[in-house]
Homo-oligomer: A and B are copies of this chain.
Amino acid sequence: MPGPRRGTADGPCPIGRTADILGDRWALLIMRNATVGMTRFDEFKAELDIADNVLSGRLRQLVESGLLTRIPYRPEGGGRTRDEYRLTQAGEDLLPLLHAMMVWGNAHSESASPTRPMRLVHSTCGESFEPGRRCPRCRRRVPRSETAWIRPWRSDLAQVLGAAAAP
C-alpha cells in the first residue's frame, strides 16, 4: 500500500502478525488453493484470474513468509524443469484458519448460485470434521492425507486433497 507501510509484522499481538501476512485477498486465495492441492504457477493464474506479475509477487512473499516452498519438478508433457509451490508446515497449519473462514462464509455470506454448503470431511469415511478434533465417526485423528474438501458446486470428483483442483 502507499506510504511507508507501518506494519505490525513483529508486534506483540499474534493476530496482528498474522494479519500482516494474510491480510490480503490474494494471499488468502492462494493459500486456499494450495491447501486443496494446487501447486503450479499457471494453475494459480488460470483458476484465480490473477495478473501474473501480482501472482509472482504474492508467491514470493508467501515463500519469504515461510508458508510455501519452491520445489523443482519436470512437467509430464515434457519441457524444462520448473518450480512448484508446496505447503510448508506453517502453510499446512492454516487449515483451522481456512476452516473457520469456510464456516463463517457458509453462515454469513451468500452465493449467487446457491448449492449445498462446502464441508471439510474425513476422506476415508466421508464424515465432516473440525481441524484439531477427532473424526466424530472414526474417533481417530484425521491426517492431512485423509482430508478432503467437499465443494458441491463442482461437478467433477477431483475434490480430494492431493488432486490439484480449484475451489
A-to-B contact residues, CB < 8 Å: 6, 8-29, 32, 49, 66, 90, 93-94, 96-113, 115, 117-118, 130, 132, 151, 153, 167
Contacts and interface: CB of A to CB of B under 8 A. Distances in A.
Q: Which of A22, A98, A113 has most B Cβ within 10 Å?
A: A22
Contacts of A99: 100
Nearest to A28: B19
A28 B23 contact: yes
Copies in the complex: 2
A10 B112 contact: yes
A153 B15 CA distance: 13
Contact of A15 (B19, B26, B167): B167
B105 A101 contact: no
Nearest to A20: B25
Contacts of A115: 12
A90 B107 CA distance: 8
A134 B105 CA distance: 23
Given A101-B97, A104-B94, A167 B29 contact: no
Given A23-B25, A24-B23, A49-B6, A14 B97 contact: no
* A17, A20, A21, A27 pick with most chain B CB within 10 angstroms: A17
B104 A167 contact: no
Contacts of A112: 10-12
A115 B106 CA distance: 36
Contact of A19 (B20, B21, B25): B25
Contacts of A132: 130
